[in-house]
Structure 1
């Protein structure tokens, strides 16, 4: 038996249905693009910026009695804001709250001695770094038995909530220190002066701001601390704009001026080269 098959030409109704389906598919393809371009999805779309800084780190970020903030990080954040053409407002960003503040949208950026780490990058993104500091150790002036980080063996080390500095000592270098919890580095330094702890170990710029006549920096750095600008994950345009501003900050001499302004008297060897950026992809 031979079966004859005749191709049916689509009628007008069928043609209209196919046309409508094509239009629907085209619109669906455009929806992700429209969503990605929506207002407010990037810091560059905002009229102003809220930036988290430290309130209690001399030389880096300190909140004054009048509510204003001063320090190197504050000046860097102000420069970035100007380059982005945005007025900025500063709020306190404690170490333990930095990721939460970015993820919750209560701040647009965080510039608060925020070292870039693999763990933090699972929650937020980073522009920069805008400076590469080095971890060192602060002890009391009369302490002669601590010449490097390994001399902390068996001693009481201050542990700040939300900071990774103690991990560099106890976990990465396996030095058996006795950890003494603290809420901030300003509290750590008070505890050091009161002999409640034997040492404070963190970034040299932080220690330089806290160093007093009763304390001394060991001056034996043992890590690179890459200070990043915390930003919401996915804001690639904003991250790239921040990196452009940081590059210009070094090229026009502002970075050198700010480092000298805040740390020239510290005796630290200050880097004045543009750091190697993370990349915003």
Structure 2
């Protein structure tokens, strides 16, 4: 009788030990999933990516379908899939909000026409460049402006929150169009007077385009990738002026665990031709 009771006790203890072990494993995996480790559902959960909603061919949000389309959307989906994520969540960012949204954790990465520069590298990590753009000068055909010298004494517009204003001023000084020294400026540098031109910065690309159409500015300077959205039969880009290059990279939080994986993944996508196929698809 005692042997039977002992055997039952041993089996019961073994069952309890197995149950406790299973419970602890469940808790561990659940907690790990909350810290960026593989989740209970398999894969790495959801990657939240900041993208543009206003740039045709790169990141554009369709109000009718409630979906994002473009080369950068395809790139982000492929990147997340190769990194083992089971889903991608897209969040709209703008030049004004993207850096802050990355740093405060609202997005895990930026695939948002974000050009690589030394001063940005101080705050974020970049993947290898996946696209090279140029800064172009766009005019209304009715203005009869056909070259850069036709803009002397005129207003030139750029998009606030981008690097365009700074590199434009530098380029105009390099080619002798201006001495590059501001004569007068308002507090946020959205309105700056130079010797041979007046710089105005606008809070959105649509407002920048509207300013060109209304004649508030004689020309607007913007990336060639973005210019495609606002170029039409009544507008042209000046053939004698461009600034090279503007290289776009995937941005991640500085020194984050994600940075190295993103870098490797994007480099592999460059090496195997995947990114070129996306560019050709949307060009």
State whether TM-score is above 0.5. Answer: yes
| C-alpha separation in 1, matches of 2:123 and 2:260 | 18
In 2: Cα distance, 1:120 partner to 1:154 partner: 32
> Superposition pairs for residues 49-88 of structure 1, below 5 Å?
49-65=47-63, 66-86=65-85, 87-88=87-88
What does 1:54-203 correspond to in 2, within 5 Å? 54-65=52-63, 66-86=65-85, 87-148=87-148, 151-171=150-170, 173-174=172-173, 175=178, 176=194, 177-203=197-223
Residues 158 and 222 of structure 2 are in contact (CA less than 8 Å); yes or no, is this contact kept in structure 1?
A: no
Over 6 Å off, 4+ runs: none
How has the CA–CA distance of structure 1 residues 246 and 151 changed in structure 2, closer, same or farther, with 3 Å as cutoff? farther
Q: SS of the residue aligned with 2:280?
A: helix
Tell me the TM-score normalised to structure 1 length: 0.71
Which residue is 1:217 aligned to? 237
Structure 1 alignment gaps of length 5 or more: 1-37, 264-281
SS of equivalent residue, structure 1 residue 142: helix
Inter-partner Cα distance in structure 2 for 1:165 and 1:186: 16
User: Does 2:244 correspond to 1:248?
Assistant: no
CA RMSD of aligned residues (A): 2.4
Corresponding residue SS for 2:158: strand
Deviation at 1:72, TM superposition (A): 1.8
Distance 1:153 1:49 in 2: 47
More strand by share: 2
- Using the alignment, how far apart are the partners of 1:47 and 1:250 within structure 2? 25
* Distance in 1, Cα, partners of 2:237 & 2:207: 17
Shift of 1:193: 1.9
- 1:134 touches 1:222 (CA, 8 Å); kept in 2? yes
Distance (Å, rounded) in 2 between the aligned partners of 1:146 and 1:129: 32
How far apart are 1:171 and its partner, in Å?
Answer: 4.3
- Compute the displacement of 1:243 (Å): 2.4
Q: Which residue of 1 aligns with 2:190?
A: none
Q: Which runs of 5+ in 2 are unaligned?
A: 1-33, 38-42, 179-193
Closer, same or farther: CA 179–241 of 1 in aligned 2, 3 Å: same
Question: 2:249 maps to which residue?
Answer: 228
- The change in CA–CA distance for 1:111 and 1:245 in structure 2 (over 3 A counts) is same
Question: What is the Cα deviation at residue 118 of structure 1?
Answer: 1.9
Match for residue 36 of structure 2 among 18, 33, 40:
40
TM norm structure 2 = 0.71
Q: Number of paired residues?
A: 222
| Partner Cα separation in structure 1 for residue 126 and residue 82 of structure 2 | 17
Secondary structure at the residue paired with 1:163? coil
